[in-house]
Amino acid sequence: MTDFYKKLLENNSHWVEKKLGEDPNFFKDLAHGQQPPLLWIGCSDSRVPANEITGTKAGEVFVHRNIANMVVHSDMSMLSVLDYAVNVLKVRHIIVCGHYGCGGVKAAMGNGSYGIIDNWIRHIKDSYRFNKEKLNAIENDDERFNKFVELNTKEQVLNLAKTSIVQNAWKNGQELYLHGWVYGLNSGYVTDLEVNFSFNTDLHEMYQLDI
Ligand code: ZN
């Protein structure tokens, strides 16, 4: 076993001791159930940890992560997480968090082939196509990359709003707010893109479900 791997188990023991020192009922209370107010949909990137960035504790954030924080409406994993979060846990906020320097977004801007992931990256390429006028107008490569990270995140918030799960919740009068954030790897700060949706009339009428 590598030292790194052994260290993980040691770290776990230390963490348990520390938590119990702060609150002897910490694990007992968590074992009773969860009522997180937030669903986080973020990138799998190891540098974007949801709880650390938001200063939230275990039990406060329900999390779904994939490459480039995509909301793909045929992705059963995402739909299951979303359905459970909205209809069982009754989260009040959903944040889609993109990040500058995202490898998935970068790959979507080029023509490289990386294996099966190409099929996932295709969804990000669709996002580029929907926003190509805005993006192609930016000459500087870094600026265009940053803008694409932002526009892709906005597109995924829109994709969330288009789901029957979110539209049903709104129709039933459930309080549910959707937000788009971008995290800066260089700074640690998040930027709220202010794509705040709280009802389906915010969507293009073609996507408004009559439910
Ligand atoms: Zn990423």
Token digits for 46?
């190891």
When pLDDT is averaged across residues 25-49 and rounded to a whole number, the result is: 96
- The sign of the CA dihedral 28, 29, 35, 36 is negative
pLDDT tens, 147-162?
A: 999 999 999 999 999 9
What are the structural domain ranges in the chain? 1-33, 34-207
pLDDT tens, 84-96?
A: 999 999 999 999 9
Out of 23, 29, 32, 45, which one is annotated catalytic?
45
CATH label, 34-207, candidates 3.40.50.300, 3.40.50.12160, 3.40.1050.10, 3.30.2020.10: 3.40.1050.10
46 Cα to the center of ligand 1, angstroms: 9
> What integer pLDDT is reported at residue 61 of this predicted model?
98
Told to judge if 93 belongs to the known catalytic residues of this protein, a careful annotator would answer: no
Pick the more confident residue, 210 or 89: 89
Look up the pTM and report it: 0.95
Told to judge if 102 belongs to the known catalytic residues of this protein, a careful annotator would answer: yes
Told to judge if 43 belongs to the known catalytic residues of this protein, a careful annotator would answer: yes
Q: Cβ(113)–Cβ(122) under 8 Å?
A: no
Largest separation between any pair of C-alpha atoms in the chain: 58
Out of 14, 23, 29, 47, which one is annotated catalytic?
47
